[in-house]
Amino acid sequence: MKIILSRKGFDSSAGGCPSPILPDGRLLTLPIPDNQSDIRYGNIDFGDDYGALLSHLTRGRMNRASRAHLDPDLVPGHLPRPIGWRPVLGQSGAAQGHLRKQNVGEGDLFLYFALFRPVEKHQRRWRFVPGSRPRHILWGWMQIAEVLQVDELQSEHRWLSYHPHLQMSADPNNTLYIARETLSIGLDEQLPGSGVFTHSAPLLQLTAEESVNPSQWQLPAWFYPDQRPPLTYHQKMERWNLDGDRCLLQCAARGQEFVLDCDHYPESREWCRQLITHSL
């Protein structure tokens, strides 16, 4: 099994700001804008006051009529669903080339992270909490059941017609990853094969608590490579530092998909189980 730490959601370049942590601790992962998508932000059921929140945080650059790249699409209630719908991720271009090079496929596990920052209501408008810092936080997971090429989809895959990757320009790398119904990571688990972490928690935060840089990560000590193949895009050992029972990593600023081979990191399976169990 491989773990893929996958960067998905708003940030300073895609969307122009972090996704919000609501006052009750809920994580609201905003999908990036996409002018080719048939999905508008107003089509997505994120709950009350969502349209105002989107408009206020983006300073009017986006609203409920703006088009959204809802991907990965993990939550059944976000849209009306056709028969046969399953959680799905699309990938293309260089990022998909990296996944293919790493032989990512059936049984591998995506852990999605994004940039988040706390928000509050002030004078009837949403704003980021003054003095708060953006941080990278894990917000969802998806274990792969199938890998499909967009240009080879069959009639039984008509339920995918809504997905943004079917509205994209032609790309031979355009690929869809379909979720397993139940998790299978080699432990005695009865857990869903995909889902979202609804609330912020220390266990889910990647950014080191003391860091002003969201890309300065704090991970379990077993992540330290120590003569093992490191997390992809992080081969330079100067990025890594052991600090007691934790491992500090200067995360690569670029790259969407960082792959870790669990065969070299057996502790990773229990870590994944703890993350997902925490969410339920």
Q: Which pLDDT score is estimated for 255?
A: 87
CA distances from 168 to 94, 149, 160 (A): 15, 13, 13
For residue 167, the 8-state DSSP code is: S
The H or E element that residue 113 is part of is strand 109-122
Residue 164 contacts residue 41 (beta carbons within 8 Å): no
For the ranges 40-49, 103-112, 207-216, which has the lowest average pLDDT? 40-49
**Residue 66 CB coordination number (10 Å):** 17
Q: Which pLDDT score is estimated for 47?
A: 82
Backbone angles phi, psi at 73, to 5 degrees: -110, 100
Return d(Cα 266, Cα 270) in angstroms, integer.
Answer: 8
Q: Which pLDDT score is estimated for 37?
A: 96
For residue 188, pLDDT beyond 70: no
For residue 72, the 8-state DSSP code is: S
Mean pLDDT of the chain: 95
* Sequence-distant (≥ 6) Cβ neighbours of residue 46 within 8 angstroms: 28, 78
What tens digit of pLDDT does each residue of 228-264 get?
999 999 999 999 999 999 999 999 988 899 999 999 9
What tens digit of pLDDT does each residue of 43-77 get?
999 887 889 999 999 999 999 999 999 999 999 99
